[in-house]
Structure 1
Amino acid sequence: MSNDQEQKGERIAKALARAGVGSRRDVERMITEGRVWLDGKKLETPAVLVESLQGITVDGEAIGDVAETKLWRMHKRRGTLTTHKDPEGRRTVFDQLPNHVGRVIAVGRLDMNTEGLLLLTNDGELARYLELPANAVLRRYRVRVHGRVDETALKKLEDGLTIDGTHYGSIDAKLEKVQGTNAWLTVAIREGKNREVRRVMEHLGLVVNRLIRTHYGPFSLGTLNDGAVALVPEKQLYEVLADFFKDGTRSVAAPEKKRDPSKWAKGQGTPRR
């Protein structure tokens, strides 16, 4: 952290994101909605620098101590929403989380009828890192489609395409198997734009009737049961996201801490010799 940052603090949105309140964008929206207060005064702008979380309240509640960065894998059920509250009362992925998980935010979103791997974290900065298009984190899907699959058209997706003014970058799509009038594809994308896989398949004349995310970056769905949640072991988290932990967690909200690999449980991986 530069001397300038140490003297002036950091933007409140970054500090609250690190505290797990939400992404920076979420926090900025909360400020415009009048939900964030500092030292008894409602904030009018996110352009505020803070040196700690002291005196900050969100929805009338003080922000507690910041926990160590954690990440969970969840097998999202089809028919659930990736949102904390739904005005129509529909089921969300947060409704049945175990109490010990605490306050978390989703890394990106899966639409209501998409299932499979959803990452959850207590660190908004980690969510931002994994979502940023510039980081090009690979997402893999298994897709069941109805219609005739043209493998030549699938191959052309590697060059990217534009649909109704929206450009999609290179997409790796391969035919896995055909079952009657349906077919299974494997699809890999790096941008994660809204409903990207569905829109691209529709553009090819295919109807998606099942969409399962199997991987998000280095993390996989594996054998997680439908609706289950599993904590990513600390050893794995800090090894596969080493670039993020070099500077991504530095914040006035949570002073940087050195890791001690000797304390990692044996069950979290085989120690290197």
Structure 2
Amino acid sequence: EVERLIGLGKVAVNGKILDTPATLVTRDDVITVNGKPIGAAQATRVWRYHKPSGLVTSHNDPGGRPTVFDALPSSLPRVISVGRLDLNTEGLLILTNDGELSRALELPQTELVRQYRARARGRVSQLQLDSLKEGVTVDGIRYGPIEATLEKAKDTADTEGRGPANLWISVSITEGKNREVRKVLEHLGLTVNRLIRLAYGPFQLGTLPVGSVEEVGPRVIREMLAAHIRPENLPTGNTVSTPAPVPGRRTSAPIVKGASGSAMSDPSRKPSRTRAAEAASADGGDTGRRAPKGEGWAKAKPKFEHSKTFKPRERTAPARAEEGDRGERPKRAFTPRADQFIDKPRGAGGPRKPGGTSSKSFGDKPAFGSKPGGKPGGRPAGGGFGAKPGGSRPSGGGGRGGPRGGSR
């Protein structure tokens, strides 16, 4: 893009229009594009992205297929990818806002290991995979050393006679040429039907959800990538603005390019409720109620249905002669059982005393008076708790038998 702008004569350095991109500039130079000065260089930032299958690693696809950058969260700044992943390859993709860092990490001279996990159909031995350690030439292209390990293999044929079942292979490469893993495994007679990138250099895919983006911390960038970043672009601090993974935009619907070239979601892929409401509104129907079922719909069959109809059992003729018609049967008298408590029948109750409860006098309880039966009332004279009649116990002493209240 920069080379295109320079070719159009829209880039100037210190007021002079550039005619070649091979120009050395410094931090003190003033660079303008279309007469507008560009801002100072931003600190280098890096993201991990879990690319799903079915996305093209390109900013613009001539065929109109959905791209990785169409699916990224809108909150991300303009970024570029470190290398590419094929349309049907999934897994870790490194994103950055630093073009120089991207080019440096892509070079084979950096010898960054790319780890993949491939699922393939066919038969292969570990001895065949070990032969890749010395490199291999496929269709005239020379590939460097490759580490491949057979994880699981099922040598038994499937029931439909299509040959051996799938097997998983761990593959590590350092070059990252176009479709390198697929071509090398196909050279061994395997058909790769799934390919996942697990690591790129020091960065791991880990448990990052599919379609999500997570920013790498500044401290990790300084420790892992300082040799590939200009000192003035090294980030400072130890925190990021979005520490948690950010889910990407929905990519299950095809991305349609508008007249301006920008990506927009297919209008026909609106949420189901929205589509249903719009359809009902267009037909003039009530959007709050479900439309009646048309002809051809059958009533749902109950989960359980008896095979016969149940009827009440009819009484026999002797029973009807003895008991008579149930509607004219006399009412039986109630006889309580011997072991059953039956309260006495309660009457309607007599009339209340005149004045109700208000005629009862209230006040202090009267003093000791006479008791019924001619018994004397009150306490004996001398009141209180006097001396008890003595018995055989000694009256003196300070023991337990002594009088209460004595000195101790």
- TM (norm. structure 1) is 0.76
Helix, strand or coil at the partner of 2:69 = coil
Q: Does 1:205 align with 2:189?
A: yes
Determine the C-alpha separation between the residues in 1 that align with 2:106 and 2:90: 18
Match of 2:46 among 64, 71, 75: 71
The CA distance in 1 between the partners of 2:176 and 2:216, in whole Å, is: 22
Aligned to 1:264: 238
Q: Decide which structure has greater strand share.
A: 1
Shift of 1:85: 1.0
| Matching residue of 2:83 | 108
Deviation at 1:41, TM superposition (A): 7.1
Q: Deviations over 1:2-44 (max 9, x none)?
A: xxxxxxxxxxxxxxxxxxxxxxxx644x367648522677644
Equivalent position of 2:33 in the other structure: 57
**Distance across 1 between alignment mates of 2:235 and 2:49:** 28
Query: Scaled by the length of structure 2, what TM-score is found?
Result: 0.52
Aligned twin of 1:229: 213
Distance 1:35 1:95 in 2: 30
Using the aligned pairs only, state the percent identity: 50
Give the Cα–Cα distance (whole angstroms) in 1 for the partners of residues 10 and 138 of structure 2: 39
Question: Residue 126 of structure 1 is aligned with which of 101, 107, 125?
Answer: 101
SS at match of 2:44: coil
Q: Which residue of 1 aligns with 2:230?
A: 249
Letter of the 1:45 counterpart: T
Which residue of structure 1 aligns with residue 364 of structure 2? none
Deviation at 1:178, TM superposition (A): 2.3
Contact 2:44–2:235 (8 Å) recurs in 1? no
Residues 99/67 of structure 1: CA separation in 2 closer, same or farther (3 Å cut): farther
Indicate yes or no: 2:87 matched with 1:117.
no
Provide structure 1 residue ranges, at least 5 long, that are not aligned to the other structure: 1-25, 269-273
Aligned equivalents of 2:95 and 2:235: distance in 1?
Answer: 23
Deviations 1:43-74 (A, max 9, x none): 4422222234633328x975333221010000
Distance 1:61 1:80 in 2: 35
- 1:144 corresponds to: 119
Counterparts in 2 of 1:73 and 1:258: CA distance versus 1, 3 Å: closer
3-state DSSP class of the match of 1:95? helix
8 Å Cα contact 2:118/2:168 also seen in 1: yes
User: Among 169, 172, 177, which residue is 2:144 paired with?
Assistant: 169
Classify 1:257/1:132 alpha carbon distance in 2 versus 1 (closer, same or farther; 3 Å).
Answer: closer
Q: With a CA cutoff of 8 Å and minimum separation of 6, indicate the structure with the bigger relative contact order.
A: 1
> CA separation of 1:216/1:47 partners in 2, compared to 1, >3 Å: closer, same or farther?
same
Are the structure 2 counterparts of residues 78 and 36 from structure 1 closer, same or farther at C-alpha, using a change threshold of 3 Å?
Answer: farther
Q: Which amino acid aligns with 2:11?
A: W
Q: Which amino acid aligns with 1:55?
A: I
> Residues 149 and 183 of structure 1 are in contact (CA less than 8 Å); yes or no, is this contact kept in structure 2?
no
Q: Aligned residue pairs: how many?
A: 231
User: What secondary structure, in the 3-state scheme, does the structure 2 residue paired with 1:237 have?
Assistant: helix
Alpha-carbon distance in structure 1 between the residues aligned to 2:123 and 2:235? 54
Q: Does 1:192 align with 2:167?
A: no
- Per-residue CA shift, 1:105-157, capped at 9, x if unaligned? 00000011100000000001111121111111000000001111222110010
> Quick check: 139-148 or 93-102, which moved more?
93-102
2:90 alignment partner AA: E
Secondary structure in structure 2 of the residue aligned to 1:94: helix
Alignment of 1:12-27 (within 5 A): 27=2
* Alignment-mate amino acid for residue 170 of structure 1: P
For structure 2, the 5+ residue unaligned runs are 155-163, 244-408
Looking at structure 2, the residues matched to 258 and 215 of structure 1 have their Cα atoms a distance apart, in angstroms, of: 23
Change (3 A) 1:67 1:194: same
The separation in 1 between residues aligned to 2:198 and 2:146, in whole angstroms, is 16
Per-residue CA distance 1:85-110 (angstroms, 9 max, x = gap): 11222111111322332010000000
**Hey, which of these two has a bigger chunk of helix by percent?**
1
Give me the whole-angstrom Cα distance separating, in 2, the residues matched to 1:212 and 1:140.
9
8 Å Cα contact 1:31-1:44 kept in structure 2: no
Q: Report if the CA contact (8 A) 1:34-1:43 is conserved.
A: no
Which amino acid in structure 1 is aligned with residue 114 of structure 2? R
Residues 32 and 66 of structure 1, relative CA distance in 2, 3 Å threshold: closer
CA 206–258 in structure 1, closer or farther in 2 if over 3 Å, else same:
closer
RMSD of Structure 2 on Structure 1 (CA): 2.6
